[in-house]
């Protein structure tokens, strides 16, 4: 199922997305599962994490009975504001006293010497927890159509030999990152896209239009059960139109 939800502003977008995520967590838990959820970085992440935390106070979802992961992470020091896990831990996981063994941070430059080791350790942890089929993957979308740290034209977009991959030349700083691979992003039961702003409009139109995957990595991730697009009007403004620069 492909569910397009267009919102007037960020507040209504994150309210909808947060309620949706909490409902999916509660449903999995009602079925006796401890869900695996991969969060994202980017500009929508922080208000999203704050809203999930706020709404969780009177929701059946138990955030302590979730395994929390990240779709991608920057390979920087543990206390760097550049870390994608920073706002999730500060706003969502720490206040809810989520057990440390349920918070799967990607190794930092304080933990290991190189990004390839960080990616290999993350992949091994994913396998050990059986998390290669996530319940939910939350993804931002870059103006170039990247998702997680899978960037247009880079070999990682089509790599299928590992659950997590190192990136050393991200066009979006910082350059070194770890990313879930496309098979993991496509193996999730549900994918939730979060995007705002006119700069994302062409990429989102391309993402929802058939074409080469390496050109627009956002064409790749789709839930095996559902895919939800939470967009503001500006980000959705080119949907249904072909980009003028495409012959
Ligand atoms: C990262 C993010 C990245 C982000 C998109 C959208 O590590 O940078 O995970 O994939 O989600 O770049 O970010 P913005 O919403 O800030 O444009």
Average pLDDT by stretches of 10, the chain with 247 residues = 96 98 98 98 97 98 98 98 97 97 98 98 97 96 98 98 98 98 98 98 97 98 98 96 52
Pocket of ligand 1 (CB under 6 A): 40-44, 72, 74, 84, 140-142, 146-149, 172
Whole-number Å distance between alpha carbons of 70 and 214: 22
Q: Which of 71, 83, 108, 142 to mutate to test the pocket of ligand 1 (most atoms within 8 A of CB)?
A: 142
CA distance 146 to 75: 18
Q: What is the pLDDT of residue 242?
A: 54
Ligand 1, atom nearest to 199 Cα: 17
pTM over 0.85: yes
State in Å: Cα 111 to ligand 1 middle: 23
Largest CA distance in the chain: 53
Which two structure tokens, joined as six digits, stand for 245? Answer: 């620069």
Residue nearest to atom 14 of ligand 1 (CA): 42
Compute, in angstroms, the gap from residue 162 CA to the centroid of ligand 1: 22
């Amino acid at each position: 199922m492909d569910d397009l939800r267009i919102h007037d502003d960020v507040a209504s977008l994150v309210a909808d997305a947060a309620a949706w995520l909490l409902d999916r967590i509660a449903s999995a838990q009602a079925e006796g599962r401890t869900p695996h959820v991969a969060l994202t970085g980017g500009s929508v992440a922080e208000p999203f994490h704050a809203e999930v935390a706020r709404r969780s106070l009177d929701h059946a979802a138990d955030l302590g009975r979730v395994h929390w992961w990240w779709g991608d992470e920057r390979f920087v020091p543990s206390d760097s504001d550049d870390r994608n896990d920073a706002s999730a831990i500060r706003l969502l996981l720490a206040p809810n006293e989520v057990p440390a063994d349920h918070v799967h941070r990607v190794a930092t430059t304080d933990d290991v010497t190189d990004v390839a080791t960080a990616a290999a350790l993350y992949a091994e942890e994913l396998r050990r927890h059986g998390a290669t089929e996530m319940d939910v993957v939350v993804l931002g979308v870059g103006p170039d159509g990247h998702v997680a740290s899978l960037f247009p034209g880079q070999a990682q977009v089509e790599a299928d030999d590992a659950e997590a991959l190192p990136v050393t030349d991200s066009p979006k700083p910082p350059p070194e990152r770890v990313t879930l691979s496309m098979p993991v992003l496509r193996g999730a039961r549900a994918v939730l896209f979060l995007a705002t702003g006119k700069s994302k409009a062409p990429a989102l139109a391309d993402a929802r239009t058939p074409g080469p995957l390496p050109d627009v990595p956002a064409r790749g991730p789709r839930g095996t059960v559902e895919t939800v697009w939470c967009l503001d009007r500006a980000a959705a403004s080119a949907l249904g139109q072909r980009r003028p620069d495409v012959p």
